[in-house]
Every structure is written in structure tokens, then in C-alpha cells.
Structure 1
Amino acid sequence: MNNEPARLGGFDYLIGAVALALTLFQIWHGLAAELSAPIFLPVHLSWVLVLVFMVNPAFSRSSPLYQLGRLSDLVFAVISVWAGFRLSNFDYNDLSFLLDGLGNVDLYTGAVLIVLLLEATRRTVGWVMSAIAILFLVYAMFGNVLPDSFASKGFDLQEIIRFHIFSTNGVFGAPLAISAGVVFVFVLFGALLQVTGAGQFFIDCAFAIAGRYRGGPAKASVLASAALGSISGSAIANTVTTGALTIPMMKKLGYKPEQAAGIEAAASTGGQIMPPVMGAGAFVMAQFTGLPYAEILMVSIAPAILYFFCTLLYVHLMACKLGLSGMDNVQKVAVVVKQGWHYLLPLVMITMLLLMSYSPVLVGLAGCLAIIVAAFSRRKTWVPFSAILAGLRDGALMILPISAACATAGIVVGVVGQTGIGLQFTQALLALSGGYLWGAFILIALAAVVLGMGLPVTAAYIVLSVMAVPALSEFGLPVLTAHLIVFWLSQTSNVTPPIALAAFAGAGIAGASPMKSAVQAFKLAFGFFIIPLMMAYSGLLWQADDTAFRFAVAILATLGLIIAFACGVEGRLFNRLNVPARGLLLIIAALMLVESPVVRLSALAVLTLVALWDWKKGSDPVNA
């Protein structure tokens, strides 16, 4: 993967102009909605492909093939425009293409577009995503020669192109439609947050709230990432953005470089599961489940808070073991809020509108306008017009890997539907799990980690959901619960060795070992495994037929599991724990998984007694 932007003087301005034009086109379409999907999606994708080939050259500038590569990039861009024009003008009302097949020109157009898409995906998100799509396409063509347990009907090139390009089942299916519509406007909202200074305000708020306590910069990093990561749509981008400030401060306070990188990576990854936006995956989930986004948002609040509690607890225990204190000269919360309270209004507005089930595209556009209005509502927060243009440009550039990955993931989803391999995967998963839910959970978690080694989290969720959700449903889990479990497990790739991209990004800022940073991030983000497990084995997700008592017990049991497991592993509660006490805490953590209110409440009572016993011994006088 080559992410080096082209830098050829005036060429940068051309890139900026094309990106800005894409943003303006997206805004116009979001407001007017005059283009149907068969026209809008090819235009969007061709625009994305053009920008990818402009921004991501085939060869680095130091390569002797650089100039030749730029010439080929220009050819690819021109072909992308031609393909988009051809597809957007295709006559779907003439059903002869279904009866007699595609003409040669349309057939070549579809084949070339798939090749260009796979190359664009390779350049933006890596070769693994492209390789997976190629593997599925090969399976669709030659599945008839495989053993019966894996076999499918072999489809010829005509059928594959017609299904994946000239329908809404493949490249132009739900993943790209969501990326081009809803996700784009919220990515744009995140870009505008940064250029208007709103992002810095949320970071300042986090430091004002948590900075004075033990391990202050680390706790502030967790809070800031919870606020910004939900909107940015990218754990890596959030790690780089907030980590540039928080990681040096954590190191200065006394955290080891790999700990600072791991903390920021775990916190930034958690932003993807935090309402109100939850990155891009939640909008895909709403499309897949057919449920209102507001319902997904509401049931996700409690698990997200529990995740950040888990991360904060690990951060606190780490600070205690290192003997760290808080920061000096921290601004008061009231002062920070007084300076930037107007930046809170756009977030409150989009949250309310989403809960009221307004169109997410219009909500996102309203949020973009609101953040600009907020910035200009007070004289001291005015920004130059060039900054607004930069935000509009950055929004288009930030969508490139997301749209490319979603379009390629559409190929995988299409092949699953075209060949029926999803049913075979479900049967295989049920057989390997031995009919036990915990067995299926482990297998899905492993699959999520493996897929995530080369896929963005949204693409990993799309691929895994079409394969694993039916299997989880076979165990009696509600559809939303199954999707949320897969969604959470798909996030783990950013923090799980051996390839943990968010942790590696943090390691680059911290000057730390990437693998050691990934190990720290994995430990700090262990809530990604614990909380989905509780989704499966308790009423952690509020459902219509749940009782308040069951939900309360589930919350308390999850809290107990997090505290007992973290303190047992780290060997510290209020004071350093001996081996028998640590063993008892791990037993308590295991008992929280038992689906019996009596057992869980009894375990909570024992945990409370252990905590009181340890507290009575006295604790370190440094502020907690």
C-alpha cells in the first residue's frame, strides 16, 4: 500500500479542486436527492477512483518508474470517468440485458471497473482487502469444481459482471450506498470539527475534567477519544489527531512510550462504538437489520460507557503501579466550557435529530452547517474562509479509503448472496463450535482478528456479518444482538497483535516499539471481548421484552466482571494484592458469566467485601 500523496506543485491545487468539487456534489445530492442510485453511485465511485489515482501514486517519488506510474495513473483516472459516465447512462428499463446478456462495451466496462476498484482499494487500504475480493470472485467462477461441501454453481464472466456491476447486489450495493450517502456527511462533519477548533475544545474539556487526577493525560485521552472518535469514522485518524497532543504529555508524566501509544489506540478505537455516530458501521448495521438508527443508538449507549469505564480502570491501575500523580495547572472545567460551550450545540442537535429518526444524511448536513455557524457565532472563534475550504476538501479525501473498501466489500457480500456460501459457513461454524455459543463466539472473534489484519473495521464488519450473524441467530440471539457482537469484535483488529494499525500509528508518535504498543493496546481494549460476551450471556442490550431488573443485573454483572478481571490480572485494587486475592477476583469474574441473577448478585456481594477489605487497609494518598 502506498499512501504517499503526490506533490507536484500546482498538482496539489488540482487535487484540492477535485476533492472540493466532490464534496459540493455530495452536499447538492444530499439536499436535492435528484439522482437515483443507478446514477449517483457510479458517479460517486468514479469520482473516488479519480482522486485515489491522483492522491496515491503507483510508485514513490524516489522510484525511477515514478513518472511512468503517474502517466498510468492519469490513464486510470480517465478510464474511471468514462466507466462512471457509461454506467450512469445505462438503460435499466431495457430488460434485454437480462435476457440476451450485456453488450461487449458494457461487459468490458464492468470488468475494467472491477479491476480499477481493486487497484484503488489496494492503494488505500492494502492488498488484503483486494485479495479477499479476488478470492471470492474466483470462488464464484470456479465453485463448481470444489468438493460438494464447498461447491456452488460456477458463474461465467457475463453473469458475474451483470450481478456485481449492473445491479444493486455487488459493487453498487448497500455498503457503497451507505458510504456515499450517510458516512460521507459525517466524515465531513468530523473534518469541519477539526478545522473550526471544535475538536481542540473537546480535547481541552477532557483535560479539564480528568487532568488533575492520577494519570491525568491518559484519562483525558480516553475521554477526548470517546467524544471525537465517534465522529471521525477512523480509529487510526483519531489516534494521530488526539495522540499528537496526548501521547507526549503521557510520556512526560511518566508513562512508558508503549503504554502511551497503547492507551491512545485503545481509546481511539473505542470511539467507533460510541454514540451518537459510531463511525460508519452503525449506519451499515441499520441497513442490514432494517432497524431504525435511533434504536441501535439507544441500545449501544450502556455498552459503550462500560467499554470506556474498562479502559479508564486499566489506565488508573497502570498509573497506580507506576506511582504517577495528576497534572499541575489544569484549567477549570467551567473556564473551558465558557470559552467553547457553543461547540456543544451541534453535537446535541445531531443527537436529538437522530433520536427523532430524521434522515441521517440531512442530519449530517445540518451538523456541518451548525458547526460552521457555531464557529462564527463568537468573534474569538472565527476561522478564515480558507480553513472551511480545507475542511470541505479533507472530508472528500478522508472518504476515499472508506468508499473504496465498502465498494470492494460489496463484491464479497454479492458473492455470498450469489453462491449461497453463507449457509455453508454457518453450518461449518455450528459444527466446529460443537453447538455451544461460547465456541462460536471464540471462532468469530478469531475470524474478526484475522480479517481485521488487512481490512478496515467497517469492511471487516460487513464481511463478517454476512457470514457470522446467521450462525449466531441459530443460537437464539436476536438479530440486533448478533450484529452488535460482530460489530464490536470487528473493532479488535486495530488493537490486536500482530497487526494493530491504530497501535502502530500511536507507536509512531510515541517513538515506541509497534509490537509492544500493540500488546498494551490489546490489554487496555479487552472490553471489546468482555462486553460482547456479556451481550450474548445477559440482558446487557435493552430489548423490548426485557425487565428493568434483568437489565440492572446485567449492568452490575458487567461492571463486576470488568473490575474483578482487571484487578485480578493487574494485581491491584486499592493496594497491591496477593496471589490468593487475585485468584479469588478471577473466580468472581468467571461467575459473572453464569446466567443466574442469584449467582451474579452473590458474586457481586463477595466482590464488594473484597473491595471493602482492601480499602480498610488504606491506600496510596495520591488523588485517584
Structure 2
Amino acid sequence: MSLSSWKRLRAIIDVPFIAAGLLLTAYIAFSAFGYVKNSSEHYSNFILGICLMSGLLALRNLCDEQIGNKNLASETGEDFHMRPFFWPRFVFAALALVASVIAMGYVRFNAVHLETSQPFFSDTDMVFGWLMTASILALTFIHWGPLLTGVICVAIAYFFFGYLIENPLFLTPHYDAKFVMNYIGLGTNQGFYYLAQIAADSIYFLIIYAAILLGIGMLDMVLEVGKLTGRRIPGGAAGPALIGSGIVASIMGQAVSNVVLTGRLTIPMMKKYGYSPSMAGAIEATASTAGQIMPPILGLAAFIIASFLNRPYIDVALSAMIPGLLYLVGVAIAIIVYAKRHDLPKLTEKVDKQMILRLLPTFLVSFGAVLWLLLGYRSPAIAGMWGIILALALSLLQGKYRPKARKLYEGIEEGLYLVTILSLLLIAIGPLGQVMLTTNLSGRLGSALVAYLPDSQLLLLLGAMVVSLILGMGLPTPVAYIIVALALVPFMQQIGVPKLQAHFFVFYFAVFSTLTPPVAVSVLAAAKLADARFLKTAADSMKIAATTFIIPFAFVFSPSLMSFPNLTWAVVPAVAEVLAIQVTVSVAAYGYLLRVLVAWERLVIGVAAICGFFAMTLGDYYWHAGLIGILVTMLVWLAMTRSRQVVAPEGAAE
């Protein structure tokens, strides 16, 4: 096929994709106001719509692949080379689309019957149940890769054949196939439906709202705000990355997509002002990761946490406020210490203040309305809809910065794309959580851990941290969180960790897994944009993130850190302790405090950081005394010897 043929096919596929997306959006809006009564039919409609859009999106992506390859070939003058197995992949995507629509169509038109007759399904019901399962997994494979799909397949296989396992820890009863299929999703209220309600009722309009904000120019505006800040601090070129990426990521809630979106602008600017390529990529990756732990969105996992805790979403989001701010402060401290060591300049880029003044009201009013509605315990769907309406209306008053129709269309298209793949993710991982709950695998794992691990809360938490980081490698954060939460939170509660703190502990380290090798998907994306080596970028990311790894331990041992907005004076020493550790970790990592430090001085500061960590987790007086004593002594020593100041050139050993 020629290039024009692929473009024409892509345009043809776009029509039903956009039409289905707008129709589904209108349907979800009606449901938010209570016009849909039967939940099994409602969520069946939603899953059917997402399957249709996912299949069309898969075909559209393959068209884009061909268009991109042909354009590249024409630009370079090289022969066109089709990627391996293109036509089998195209046929596979088409079959997944058709099969998922047929299977979910059957489930939708028989939803009430399936709900009332479960688990006594007919043979025909079972055939369509298997077709539904296979087609949704096929779509998951296309959009989320083999690792996640493999994990879900293993969980489903365990549900069917766990009775054959000899180990009593993993042995399950011999469940009937129809009983299992009921819990996979044919019964219309478990399995694939397990988290579909979160996708439909909570995240749908918030994701579209985030995409609309980007479409009306909010990305450019927050980057200008970052420039304004960067003109006032050393190494200010990192300001747009930290502030811009942090704000945008807090709305989008996705680290990797945010790296790709903002990194194209922030990374070249940092390199221009003296940051090494790997450090520029590391700053963008760590700043973008903040969005998954910073209210109000916190990625998708916050909605799942609220569901597990049976608490309003806004209560969970507010609890994350202080830890989220401490994360951003820790990253900022690391950047400032690095910039001071290498004597990096302030930012001198011209700031478009008029853009800030014209676009800021759109952001503040719409975002404020969303927060106000959430704080008033209105549904996230209602809050997201009002955010969209206000953002679109106020964008008309932005003067010369008023968005063009094309930009608005692209924003809506991006919103439909994001909501499709993220909803598919939540639908697909439903059976994974259902298996762990129905078979009680999570409870048995917790009992085994308590029985075999040492009787030390700190050591047990360190073990939970390692497990969370390992399980989070290569998996989307919500998936990593669900696996770890179901496996470890019951165990953590048994060792005395409050339920809210236990969920957030494993959630934080599932988020951090996007920064830790060997996978580190956020770092990989940033390294490509920065034209830097992956391992060097990962090392720099870990060095920055070292200031933030203490935060989950901090809110476990100082629960007042998660008491926002009901704060007491107990939060003050807890915050001060975290800040002291963050400063000492950054100083020891980069070797600067008043002046460039020599090796033994960095080692002593590192000892102070260790004292601070044990003071925070063990609470013994002598650890506090060690932290304060070392810091005071070193500050006096460095003030007395400040004349030894030596500027370390960029690229020097740290």
C-alpha cells in the first residue's frame, strides 16, 4: 500500500474511534447524573465501548507505524522496510477488535440474565465468556505488552488449576469452571468488572479534563512559570522541569507519558545551561514521577486505594498532600546542591509573562472548581465535567493565546486515547485482584511472611520495600500497586502498620520502581530524549530520588504526616526530621555544603543521614543527638574553612 493509502485508512479509522469516544463520553455523563439504573448493563456498556475503542486504536497505531516508516524512508532516501510481522499483527488486532465487540455485545444484551443466573451458566454463555476473556487479553497484549498480559494469564490459570499445586501455601480448592468464569467477569460484577467502575465513575472525565488543559495551552503556561522561578535560583534551567513537569504530571497522573510530553522542551534547555545529558534526563524523570504521588490525581492507584479502604477519594488524596510536597522538596534540594557544586547559572531565558497572565485564570478557576467539588464529596465525574466546561469557556477569553480549533481537537483526541488505554488497563487487571481475594492468596502470603521473617518492624518494612520495587519493574504502577497491596498490606497490618499508611507505603515504592534499574521505564524515556546512556541516567535518577526514598518510612513511623488537613503540632518535628535527612543525603551524594567537600567530609555527612534515618524509624534519643551533633559540628567546620572553595567542573567525579 502507498503512503496516501495508509493515511486514508488512518483517517477512516479515526471517524468511528472519535464517534465511539464521544458517544461513550455522553453516555458516561448521563450516568453520572443517575440516568442509568442497572449496574450490570451500565458497566457492560462501558467495557463494550472501551473494547471497541481499544481495537480501533490498535489498528490506528499500526497505520501510524506504516506512515512513520514510509516518511522516514522518503526523508533518508533509504529503502522502505516494514517492521517484522506487520501483517500478522494487523490481522491479530482486527480479530481482537471483532472478537471483543461480539463477546461483549453478547454479555451486554444478556447482562441481567447473567447476573441473576450466576454461576449457573449455559454452554453458550461459557463460550462467549472464554471469547470475552481471550479478546480482552489480546487487546491488553497489544496496548500494554506481554509482561502484564502474562501476569494476568498466570493468575487466571492459577484460579483454574491451583488445586493441582502440592505446596499447601498455594493449594486451592477444585473450583468448577463455571464458578471461576463467574469471578473472571461473566457474572458482570467481578473480574473484568472489578475495577471498571473506577474507570467509568471516577477517572474518565478527570483524564479528559487533563487532556483539555493541555489542548488549551496549559503546558506552555506552566513551563513559563518554571522559567520565572528558574531566573531566581542557581541551576534555574531545571525550574521548568521541576515545576512544569510536576504540575502537568499531577494532572495527568502518568510518569512516562509526561516525560515524553514535557521532556522534549525541558531537557534541551537544561543541557544548554550546563547540565549533563544524564542529569537532565534524570531530573525530568524524577519530576514527572511526582505526578503519581501528588494530589489531586495521584495516577490511577489513588482511586484503587480509596476503593480498597472504602473511603472517599478526596480523603485519600488529601492524606497524600504532605508526603507529595516532601517529594518535590527533596528533588528540589538535590537539584540545588548539584547546581551549587557545579556553579550552574540562573536561567536567562525570556519569560512570556503575558501568557502566564492570560492563561493562569483558566487553569486556576477550572482546577479550583474541580478541587472544590471533590472537597465537597461530589463525584470525580461531576468534578471533571465542570472542569472541562470551565476550561473550554475560559479559554475563549485568552486573547491571542486562545486555542485554535485544531489544538482543541487534538486535546479531545488525546483525552480519548488516554482514557481508552487506561480504562483498558483497569478492566484487564480486574481478574488479577479477584484471584488474590477469592483464593485468599494474599492473606496466606501475609501469614507466611509474619511466620518466617524476623520480628523487627523496620526490617520487615525494608523487605516490603524490596518486594514492591521488584514487582513494580516493567509493570504499570496501578498493576504493581495492586499486586503488592493484596500480597503485603495484610501482612503489614499484622506487624502494626495502620491500613492507610500500609497502602501508601507499597504504592510509593511501586511508583519508585519506574526510576529503579534494570527496567526504569521513566528513565528509559528520559535517556532517549536526552541522548544519554540509560545506566548513567538511572544512576543520576537514583541519586536524586535518594532524598525521597525515606518518605514512606517517615509517614509509617510518623502518621501525622498523613493527617492533612487535620494537622497538629506533631507534624512539625516530623517534617523537620525529613528535611534534615533530605539535605544530608543530597550533600553526601553531591559533595557540596557552603563549599565543595572532600571525601571524608562527605562521609561524615553521610553518617549524619544514617543517624537521621534511624532517629526517624527507631526514635531513640542518641540517633537524634548524633544527627544534630554531626550537622552542627560540620556547619561550624565548613564555615571556618569556606575559603577553600573550589568550583567543580561539570562532569567531574562526584
Tell me the TM-score normalized by structure 2: 0.88
Equivalent residue for 2:40?
38
The whole-number CA distance in structure 2 between the counterparts of 1:266 and 1:554 is 23
Matches within 5 A, 1:340-355: 340-342=359-361, 343-355=363-375
The whole-number CA distance in structure 2 between the counterparts of 1:598 and 1:439 is 20
Equivalent residue for 2:275?
255
Equivalent residue for 2:158?
139
Choose the corresponding residue for 1:164, options 184, 192, 204.
Answer: 184
Structure 1, unaligned runs of 5 or more: 1-5
Q: Is 1:13 aligned to 2:21, yes or no?
A: no
Q: Is 1:398 aligned to 2:396, yes or no?
A: no
Residue identity in the other structure for 1:128: L
Please give the secondary structure, in 2, of the residue aligned with 1:178.
helix
Cα 1:604–1:68 change in 2 (3 A) is closer
The whole-number CA distance in structure 1 between the counterparts of 2:609 and 2:88 is 60
Q: Is 1:128 aligned to 2:126, yes or no?
A: no
Equivalent residue for 1:3?
none
Matches within 5 A, 1:142-541: 142-146=161-165, 147-165=167-185, 166-173=187-194, 175-331=195-351, 337-342=356-361, 343-541=363-561
Give the RMSD, CA atoms, in angstroms: 2.7
Cα 1:621–1:17 change in 2 (3 A) is farther
Matches within 5 A, 1:7-86: 8-33=6-31, 34-35=35-36, 36-57=38-59, 61=66, 62-63=82-83, 65-86=85-106
Does the Cα contact within 8 Å between 1:124 and 1:400 map onto a contact in 2?
no
Does the Cα contact within 8 Å between 1:15 and 1:54 map onto a contact in 2?
yes
Matched length:
615
Q: Is 1:596 aligned to 2:619, yes or no?
A: yes
Deviation (angstroms), 1:471: 1.2
Equivalent residue for 1:102?
121
Deviation (angstroms), 1:601: 5.7
User: Identical aligned pairs, as a percentage?
Assistant: 23
Please give the secondary structure, in 2, of the residue aligned with 1:497.
coil
The whole-number CA distance in structure 1 between the counterparts of 2:254 and 2:125 is 35
Q: Is 1:610 aligned to 2:612, yes or no?
A: no
Deviation (angstroms), 1:68: 4.9
Does the Cα contact within 8 Å between 1:140 and 1:153 map onto a contact in 2?
no
Task: Give deviations 1:53-97, integer Å, cap 9, x for gaps.
Answer: 333359775157534543443332122222222112224367773
Cα 1:386–1:139 change in 2 (3 A) is same
Cα 1:616–1:41 change in 2 (3 A) is farther
The whole-number CA distance in structure 1 between the counterparts of 2:319 and 2:604 is 32
Cα 1:7–1:604 change in 2 (3 A) is farther
Does the Cα contact within 8 Å between 1:557 and 1:600 map onto a contact in 2?
no
Does the Cα contact within 8 Å between 1:276 and 1:351 map onto a contact in 2?
yes
Q: Is 1:118 aligned to 2:137, yes or no?
A: yes
The whole-number CA distance in structure 1 between the counterparts of 2:601 and 2:346 is 28
Please give the secondary structure, in 1, of the residue aligned with 2:461.
helix
The whole-number CA distance in structure 2 between the counterparts of 1:350 and 1:91 is 34
Cα 1:545–1:254 change in 2 (3 A) is closer
Deviation (angstroms), 1:586: 2.5
Residue identity in the other structure for 1:127: P
The whole-number CA distance in structure 1 between the counterparts of 2:475 and 2:256 is 13
Please give the secondary structure, in 2, of the residue aligned with 1:548.
coil
Task: Give deviations 1:103-147, integer Å, cap 9, x for gaps.
Answer: 122111111111112221122122111111111112112211221
Q: Which 10-residue stretch deviates more, 592-601 or 177-186?
A: 592-601
Structure 2, unaligned runs of 5 or more: 67-81, 648-654
Task: Give deviations 1:568-601, integer Å, cap 9, x for gaps.
Answer: 2322222122344333323332333334385576
Does the Cα contact within 8 Å between 2:341 and 2:591 map onto a contact in 1?
no
Cα 1:98–1:378 change in 2 (3 A) is closer
The whole-number CA distance in structure 2 between the counterparts of 1:457 and 1:95 is 31
The whole-number CA distance in structure 2 between the counterparts of 1:219 and 1:386 is 30
Does the Cα contact within 8 Å between 2:232 and 2:346 map onto a contact in 1?
yes
Residue identity in the other structure for 1:314: A
Tell me the TM-score normalized by structure 1: 0.92
The whole-number CA distance in structure 2 between the counterparts of 1:454 and 1:42 is 30
